[in-house]
């Protein structure tokens, strides 16, 4: 279908320290005991997109990601892993692979997206409207349940990240997008945009899901001309949305005359016929533009930005903060369980056959125990995920947490709302509430931590 796919898998992001480290780049962070990148790859494979380019920041991370992919997807996908220097931003990452892109349109997916929205829907909307960029918008997730929220101290104000999105009445054209810091200031809407569509609907409940379909020529032009652009979401996309009506992109793909000598004449004629007839899908947008008193050259220089709103029944979340990490883990075993690919037992949890449970140990619903884990007596596991080969002693309570592989937890511990990375050793009677323990850390016995990241120096 003339689409190429680029997956931006990031590197070691600062938001997720101490969960990410040199050994575990962000793309390989486990969600329900599968690396988060695997969700994106499964989604693309299900849509029959077998040739991908995965871009990773940092040489080590690229090496590890490449190793994992070639191990797990050896026959199923054809993946090229490209390494880019750190901190170039998503736009910089694209600049590095821009010369590999040859197809007419490019689908860009963020590697930390956990979703079941079919990428074909975004691509179909993109083609149907002949747009320059199409974004996937999904309903912003409601924040987690109260037992995690209540323990956050008053001093830690959780800033809800808003996205302000402006749509036309048919909810297909994207007319305004603002994210991050801009949101707190005023919103500026262009008058000519309002005049062109008549009605502008501004919504704060939609979130940019970081799956974009770009027209390749336009993307390459923008990246070449604007060197300062760092991020797609914050720079490239708002730029394209703002310049919809006074397009400065010279290679407006629609109106570019192809090199074929015969084709030149006839395609020019084609275009004059079309503009006379207004017969190729004139949206109200462009038809009204044609009416405004401008010289004919200006009328042609517009482009469209479209949005595809995922339906409410689909799950869509991005792993860009620790709160999101806990939420996604909970959701994948809970409401979005079809994403995990596992089959649930009768008690609505996933227990690997090789996991051993002691006597009087309860494992509640929406939990997951991976292979080789051992739990001692009188333990209680509620809404948590426990990784492979963990040794958990007796009288341990694990609530609402994520425990990764090869973790040792001694007797009498209480782990609540926390994330414990691999190879951690928790000694006896440790109490952890809302903490994040980095890989390889040893928590001394009897200590109590609340809302702290613990990492090896």
Partner 1 sequence: MQNEGTSKPQKQKTSKAERRAIQEAQRAAKAAAKEAGGVKPSASSGGAVPALKQGKVAKPSSQRKDGPQVTAPVTSSEKKVVDRLPEKDRKKDVPHPRMQFDDKHRVEKAKRRAVVNQSEARSRVELFRHLPQYIRGTQLPDLESKFFQLDPIHPSVYKVGLQYLSGDISGGNARCIAMLLAFKEAIKDYSTPPEKALVRDLTAKIGSYVSFFIECRPLSISMGNAIKFLKSRIAKLPHTLSESEAKSSLQSDIDRFINEKIVIADKVIVRHAVTKIRDGDVLLTYGSSSVVEMIFLYALELGKHFRVVVVDSRPKLDGQALLCRLVAKGLNCTYTHINAISYIMHEVTRVFLGASSVLSNGTVYSRVGTACVAMAAHAFQVPVLVCCEAYKFHERVQLDSICSNELGDPDVISKVPGWKDLNHLDNWADNENLQLLNLTYDATPSDYVSMIITDYGMLPPTSVPVLVREYRREHLWI
Residues that bind partner 1 (CB under 8 A): 1-3, 47-49, 104, 118-121, 123-125, 127-130, 262, 266, 269-270, 273, 277, 279-281, 283-284, 287-288, 291, 311
> What minimum distance in Å lies between the beta carbon of 280 and partner 1?
6
Distance from C-alpha of 33 to C-alpha of 254, rounded to nearest angstrom? 45
Q: Report in angstroms the alpha-carbon separations of 39 from 48, 173, 183, 246, 366.
A: 14, 28, 30, 39, 19
> What minimum distance in Å lies between the beta carbon of 249 and partner 1?
21
Residue closer to partner 1 by CB (options 113, 443) is: 113
Residue closer to partner 1 by CB (options 225, 311) is: 311
> What minimum distance in Å lies between the beta carbon of 365 and partner 1?
31
> What minimum distance in Å lies between the beta carbon of 374 and partner 1?
43
> What minimum distance in Å lies between the beta carbon of 19 and partner 1?
33
Residue closer to partner 1 by CB (options 146, 272) is: 272
> What minimum distance in Å lies between the beta carbon of 124 and partner 1?
4
Distance from C-alpha of 403 to C-alpha of 44, rounded to nearest angstrom? 28
Residue closer to partner 1 by CB (options 72, 124) is: 124
Residue closer to partner 1 by CB (options 5, 386) is: 5
> What minimum distance in Å lies between the beta carbon of 277 and partner 1?
6
Parallel, antiparallel, or unpaired for β 414-416 and 397-399? Answer: parallel
Residue closer to partner 1 by CB (options 149, 263) is: 263
Residue closer to partner 1 by CB (options 309, 390) is: 309
Residue closer to partner 1 by CB (options 121, 219) is: 121
> What minimum distance in Å lies between the beta carbon of 90 and partner 1?
23
At a CB cut-off of 8 Å and minimum separation 6, what does 384 contact? 367, 368, 398, 399, 400, 401, 402, 403
> What minimum distance in Å lies between the beta carbon of 119 and partner 1?
7
Residue closer to partner 1 by CB (options 120, 364) is: 120
Residue closer to partner 1 by CB (options 117, 420) is: 117
> What minimum distance in Å lies between the beta carbon of 292 and partner 1?
9
Strand partners, 436: 419, 453
């Amino acid at each position: 279908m003339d689409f190429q796919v680029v997956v931006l898998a990031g590197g070691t992001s600062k938001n997720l320290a101490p969960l990410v480290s040199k050994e575990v780049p962000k793309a390989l962070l486990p969600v329900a005991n599968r690396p988060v990148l695997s969700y994106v790859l499964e989604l693309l494979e299900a849509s029959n997109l077998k040739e991908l380019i995965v871009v990773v920041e940092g040489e080590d991370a690229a090496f590890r990601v490449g190793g994992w992919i070639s191990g797990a997807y050896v026959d199923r996908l054809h993946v090229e892993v490209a390494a880019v220097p750190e901190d170039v931003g998503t736009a910089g990452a694209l600049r590095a692979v821009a010369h590999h892109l040859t197809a007419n349109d490019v689908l860009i997916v963020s590697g930390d997206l956990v979703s079941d929205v079919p990428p074909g829907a975004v691509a179909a909307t993109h083609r149907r409207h002949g747009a320059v960029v199409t974004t996937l918008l999904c309903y912003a997730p409601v924040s987690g349940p109260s037992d995690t929220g209540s323990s956050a101290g008053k001093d830690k104000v959780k800033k809800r990240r808003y996205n302000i999105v402006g749509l036309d009445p048919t909810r297909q054209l994207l007319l305004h997008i603002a994210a991050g810091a801009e949101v707190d200031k005023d919103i500026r809407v262009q008058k000519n945009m309002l005049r062109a569509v008549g009605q502008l609907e501004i919504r704060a409940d939609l979130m940019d899901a970081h799956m974009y379909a770009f027209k390749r020529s336009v993307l390459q032009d923008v990246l070449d001309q604007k060197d300062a652009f760092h991020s797609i979401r914050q720079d490239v996309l708002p730029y394209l949305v703002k310049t919809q009506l006074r397009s400065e992109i010279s290679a407006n793909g629609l109106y570019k005359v192809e090199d074929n000598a015969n084709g030149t004449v006839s395609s020019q004629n084609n275009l004059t016929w079309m503009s006379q007839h207004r017969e190729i899908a004139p949206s109200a947008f462009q038809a009204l533009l044609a009416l405004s008193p401008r010289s004919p050259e200006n009328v042609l220089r517009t482009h469209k930005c479209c949005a595809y709103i995922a339906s409410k029944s689909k799950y869509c979340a991005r792993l860009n903060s620790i709160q999101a990490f806990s939420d996604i883990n909970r959701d994948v075993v809970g409401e979005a369980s079809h994403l995990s690919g596992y089959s649930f037992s009768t008690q609505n949890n996933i227990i690997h056959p090789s996991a051993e449970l002691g006597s009087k140990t309860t494992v509640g619903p929406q939990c997951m125990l991976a292979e080789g884990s051992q739990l001692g007596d009188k333990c209680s596991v509620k809404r948590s995920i426990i990784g492979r080969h963990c040794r958990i002693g007796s009288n341990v309570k694990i609530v609402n947490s994520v425990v990764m592989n090869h973790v040792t937890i001694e007797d009498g511990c209480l782990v609540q709302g926390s994330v414990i990375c691999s190879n951690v050793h928790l000694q006896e009677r440790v109490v952890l509430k809302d903490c994040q323990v980095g890989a390889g850390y040893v928590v001394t016995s009897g200590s109590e931590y609340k809302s702290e990241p613990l990492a090896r120096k």
